[in-house]
Structure 1
C-alpha cells in the first residue's frame, strides 16, 4: 500500500484512478462470490453478482485505507508500498483464477441436487467478462462519491478542525448518496413495481369467465365486484374442482367448495375489506361447512392451487376458503422493502372471523384452519395470539415457505431440540408443531402423537425466502454450521459480506429452480401436510397416494 498518514494528502483525482490495494480486496470478494449458495445461477446472474460484490469489496478497501489514515497509523511508502500492493494484487488474482476454475463445478453441485442441467464449459469466461462490465460503472460511481466527500471535507476544514471535518464530510456524502439512491432508485423502483404489478393484477384472463354460481365470489348475486377482485382473485374464485370432479375422484357425494376472495380494490382499508369478506361468508354459508380456511395470499395476491385444489378434494368439497388481498408486489419485494405489508389485513380478517366462529355452539362450529405461503405465511402467523386462543383454539395451520422475518416461526425454530437441524427442527415431540420438507414421511411419526391443535411448517432447505439471514454479512447463519439439507450444496461456505449478497440474490431467484425446491412448493408435498393437519374423514394412506399421483407435475402457474 502506498499512502500518506493524513487523508487530505490523498484527495480523489479529478479523473477516475484505481487503488491497487482496494482492487485486490475487490477481486477477493469477486472470487468468494463464485462459490455456491442456495439457488443455481447462470453466467449472467453470476457475473452481475460478481461485479456488484467486487465493487463492494473495492469500496471497503478504500474505506479501510481512509480509516487507517484517519487514525494516523503508519503505512508502507514508496517502493515497499508498491511491492506490497503488487503482492496483494497478485495473490488476489491467483485466488480469483483458481475460484473461476471451480465455479462451474460449484454451480453444478447445486444443479445436480435439484434436477437441473449443468452449466456449459464457457461459464467461467462469461462470468469474468460480465463482472468486469458491471464493476466498471460502479467503480466510477464510487470515485464520484469519494470526490464529493473530499470536496465537502475541504470546505468544512475552513471552519472546523480537520478530524471533525473528515467525519462530517464522510457523513454528509453518505447522506447525500443515500438520498439519491433512495429517492431516484429505490422509491422509483417500488412505484414502478407497484404500478406494474397493479396493472398486471387488473388484467382479465380471457380463459377465466365470470362464475354464474350463487356461491361464487364475483358472481351475479355476490357482494364482491368481479372487476375489483384482481387477476389472481378472479382466477382463484373461478377455478378449482367442482362437486362432479371431486366425486369422480373420491367416488362419494360432494359439495361445491366455497371460495371467497376480496381484492385490494374492493375497499380502501383493511377493515372495510374484512367486512366485505365477512358479509360474503354469511351470505354463502361458509360457517356451515365442515372446514373453514382463512388463507392469506402471497404479496401479489396469488393463491397456490396446488395447495387448495387437493384440500377441497380430500374433504369432499365441504369446505370454505376466505382470502383478502393486501398488496400487488411479489413477496420478495415486500419482504425487503415492505415487511409489514398485510399485517393489519391478516389481523382484522382473523379477528372478525374468529370472533364469530367462537360465538357459535361448539358442535356447530366448522374446523378452523389458517394457511399461507411465503408473505402470506408471515402475515397469517402474525394474526394468531396464542394466549387468546387458549380458551377456544383453532384446529390447526399449514404455513408453507415461512419467510425469515416470521416471528412465530423464528421463536419455534429457536426452541427446537438440540439434535435437530435448523432447516428441519423438532419441537416438543411434535405434539403441536411439526416441520416437514420433501420428506413428508416425517409427518407420520408413530412414536409421537398429535395434540388437539396441529400446525405444520412446510419448508425446503434450499428456500432462501425462509433461510435468508440479514446478519449474514457479519456472522455465519446457524444453518451453515450444520450438515446441509438434501437439496443444498455441500460446497456452500460463509464469507463476510459476500454471503449476504448471495442470499439476497437467491431470494429474487427463489422461483428460478425446479419444482419442489427453493420457493417453488408443490402439490405432492402440500397433500400429506394437509392430511396430517386436517384429518379428512374416511381418508386412507392409499387415498393420499392416489391424490399425489393425480397432482404429480401439477403447475399452479
Structure 2
C-alpha cells in the first residue's frame, strides 16, 4: 500500500516543478551575509525547493494555457528521465559544494571552518519541508474546488471560480496571518515577559541614591525588568574611568524605565523625565536618549564608549517598550515602540529646550537595531530646526528606516551602498569596521548623524525587492566582510536574506548584527570629539573595554 501511495505521489508531481525546484534548492546553499546554522539552512532549502516547484507548476500551466505543443509518448518519457537525472545531479553537486561556500563566510569572520554541511540530513529535512508545503497547497486546491462546485450550482462557472479563490485565500490568510501569527506572537511575548521578570542573583539592589531602582529612586528595582536592572547595575565606577579618561571624572548617570514601571506610555515617559531631573541628568555635559532593542536591551558597548570618552560626565535615559526580540518585532510589528520613543524624546527635548543654552548638556540620540529605527522616528527633524539637538549615533539601522534608506539612495556616485558618502559629509556620515567618519574634506556641522553598519548585517541590508531585483549593495565593490561567492538569484536571495535576519546575531562580534565596542568608540569619538584623547589613549581604552581582543 505504501509503495502504491509513493507511486501515485511521484506520478502527481510536476517534472517542470521538480526541475525548477532543484535549481532553487541548489542556489539556496550558496553563501549570503552570515553563516547559517544547520537547521536554518535545511529549512531555507526546503522552502526554496517549494518556491521553485510552485514556479515550475505555474510555468507548465502557462504553457498549456497558451496552447503550445507538448511532448508526448516516448519523447515525454525520455524527457522526464533526463529531467529527473538532471535534478539529482544538480542537488548532489551543490550539496557537495555547500561546505566550501559556508566556509567562505566563516573565513572572513575568523570562524573555524566546517568539514561538512551534513548533506543527507539537510536533504531529508528539506524534503519534509517540501512535502508539508505541498500538502498545504493541495489542501488549498481541494477547498477551492469544493467551494467552486458548491457555488457553481447557483452562479455561472467563472463567477464561482472567482468566489472560490477569494474565499479560500481569505480563509488561509486569516488562519495564518491572523490566528496562528497572533498565537505565536502571544506565546513569544509571554515567554520573554517571564524572562524579563527574572531577577539575577549577581545583581544587588543599588544603594547609591543616584541609581534607578535604589531606595531614593522613583522607580522600583523589580519593576525595571531584567534588561533594565542590568543596564543600571553595570555602570562603570568613577575610579575605573579615571584610569583611562583624561580630565575631570564623574560617575555616569543612567535612568531606565521598565514596562512594569507604569501602566501607559505617557506615564513611563513622565517617570523617565522626573527620574532624570531627580538625579541631575540635565546638569551633565552630555545627555543621551537611548531607544533600546525589542527586548529592552541596551548594548553595553554603545553606552560605555561615550561614558569613558567623556569621563563619566554624561547621563543616559531609556524606556522599555517590548519583550520581543528585535528581528521578530521588525518582521511582525515594525511600528512597535515608535510611540514610546516619541513620548520620551518629546518630554526630554521640551525640558532641555527651556534650559539656558550655555548651561544645558549636549543632546544625542542613540539606538541599535529596532532601537535605531524607533529612535530615528522619535524626532521630526523639521521640528528641531529652530533649536536642533547635537546629533545621533544609530547602529545597525534596520532596512525599514526611511531616513537611512533616503541617505543611502542619495549617496555620492561611485560610493558603495554598504558604506555610502552623503553629499559633503557635513551632516550625515556612515562607518563600518574600518571607520569612515573622519575621511571628509568638509567639517562636520553642529548637527551630526552617524550610522554604524556592517556590510554583513542583514538587518540593514535585507531588501524585499531582492525577490526580483539585485540589491545595490551587491553591485561593484563588496564589503570587507561579505563573501566573494555571494551572487544574486531571483527569489532565492530574498529567502536567504530573510533567514539571515533570524541568524544575524549569531555572527561573531564585529560582523553581522553583533556590533563591537571598538567600533562604537571610534564612532562616538568622531561624533562628539572629546578633548584629551590621542591615539595611544584610544588604543588603551579599546584593549580595556573592547570585545575583539586584538
TM range (shorter): over 0.9
- Residue 244, structure 1, aligned to residue 239, structure 2: yes
Equivalent residue, structure 2, for 1:528: 522
Deviation at 1:554, TM superposition (A): 6.9
Equivalent residue, structure 1, for 2:450: 456
Equivalent residue, structure 2, for 1:4: none
After TM superposition, the structure 1 stretch with the greater mean CA deviation from structure 2, 188-197 or 530-539, is 530-539
Equivalent residue, structure 2, for 1:291: 286
C-alpha separation between the residues in 2 aligned to 1:497 and 1:448?
A: 42
Over the residues paired in the alignment, what is the CA RMSD in angstroms?
2.1
C-alpha separation between the residues in 2 aligned to 1:52 and 1:16?
A: 22
C-alpha separation between the residues in 1 aligned to 2:188 and 2:97?
A: 36
Does the CA-based 8 Å contact 2:98-2:117 persist in structure 1? no
- Residue 369, structure 1, aligned to residue 383, structure 2: no
Counterpart of 1:495 (choices 489, 497, 502) is: 489
Equivalent residue, structure 2, for 1:124: 119
Does the CA-based 8 Å contact 1:233-1:302 persist in structure 2? yes
**Partner deviation per Cα, 1:169-209 (whole Å, 9 max, x = no partner):** 33322222222222443111101111111111111111111
Equivalent residue, structure 2, for 1:438: 433
C-alpha separation between the residues in 2 aligned to 1:492 and 1:67?
A: 32
**Partner deviation per Cα, 1:154-181 (whole Å, 9 max, x = no partner):** 3233333333333333332222222222
Deviation at 1:304, TM superposition (A): 0.8
- Residue 509, structure 1, aligned to residue 503, structure 2: yes
Q: How does 1:116-515 map to 2 (within 5 A)?
A: 116-121=111-116, 123-250=118-245, 252-440=247-435, 442-445=436-439, 447-515=441-509
**Partner deviation per Cα, 1:364-388 (whole Å, 9 max, x = no partner):** 1100011000000000011222222
- Residue 53, structure 1, aligned to residue 48, structure 2: yes
Does the CA-based 8 Å contact 1:373-1:399 persist in structure 2? yes
**Partner deviation per Cα, 1:93-147 (whole Å, 9 max, x = no partner):** 3322332232111111111111111121353333223222332222222222222
**Partner deviation per Cα, 1:373-432 (whole Å, 9 max, x = no partner):** 000000001122222222211111110000000011111111100111000000122111
C-alpha separation between the residues in 2 aligned to 1:492 and 1:88?
A: 27
C-alpha separation between the residues in 2 aligned to 1:437 and 1:167?
A: 52
C-alpha separation between the residues in 2 aligned to 1:137 and 1:165?
A: 28
After TM superposition, the structure 1 stretch with the greater mean CA deviation from structure 2, 145-154 or 67-76, is 67-76
Equivalent residue, structure 2, for 1:551: 545
SS at match of 1:229: helix
Q: How does 1:69-84 map to 2 (within 5 A)?
A: 69=64, 75-84=70-79
SS at match of 1:450: coil
Does the CA-based 8 Å contact 1:109-1:491 persist in structure 2? yes
Change (3 A) 1:97 1:15: closer
C-alpha separation between the residues in 2 aligned to 1:123 and 1:487?
A: 25
SS at match of 2:483: coil
C-alpha separation between the residues in 1 aligned to 2:348 and 2:117?
A: 57
SS at match of 2:335: coil
SS at match of 2:295: coil
Q: Structure 2: give runs of 5+ residues left out of the alignment.
A: 1-7
SS at match of 1:52: helix
SS at match of 2:181: helix
Does the CA-based 8 Å contact 2:391-2:448 persist in structure 1? yes
After TM superposition, the structure 1 stretch with the greater mean CA deviation from structure 2, 36-45 or 223-232, is 36-45
SS at match of 2:467: coil
**Partner deviation per Cα, 1:229-268 (whole Å, 9 max, x = no partner):** 1100011011120112212333654212110001111122
**Moved segments of 4+, more than 6 Å:** 13-16
C-alpha separation between the residues in 1 aligned to 2:420 and 2:520?
A: 18
C-alpha separation between the residues in 2 aligned to 1:456 and 1:317?
A: 21
Does the CA-based 8 Å contact 1:247-1:254 persist in structure 2? yes
Deviation at 1:467, TM superposition (A): 0.2
SS at match of 1:369: strand
Deviation at 1:31, TM superposition (A): 1.1
SS at match of 1:132: helix
Equivalent residue, structure 1, for 2:4: none
Does the CA-based 8 Å contact 1:24-1:58 persist in structure 2? yes
TM-score for both structures, normalised by structure 1? 0.92
After TM superposition, the structure 1 stretch with the greater mean CA deviation from structure 2, 93-102 or 482-491, is 93-102
Deviation at 1:454, TM superposition (A): 2.0
Deviation at 1:541, TM superposition (A): 2.5
**Partner deviation per Cα, 1:524-548 (whole Å, 9 max, x = no partner):** 1000101111121322222211111
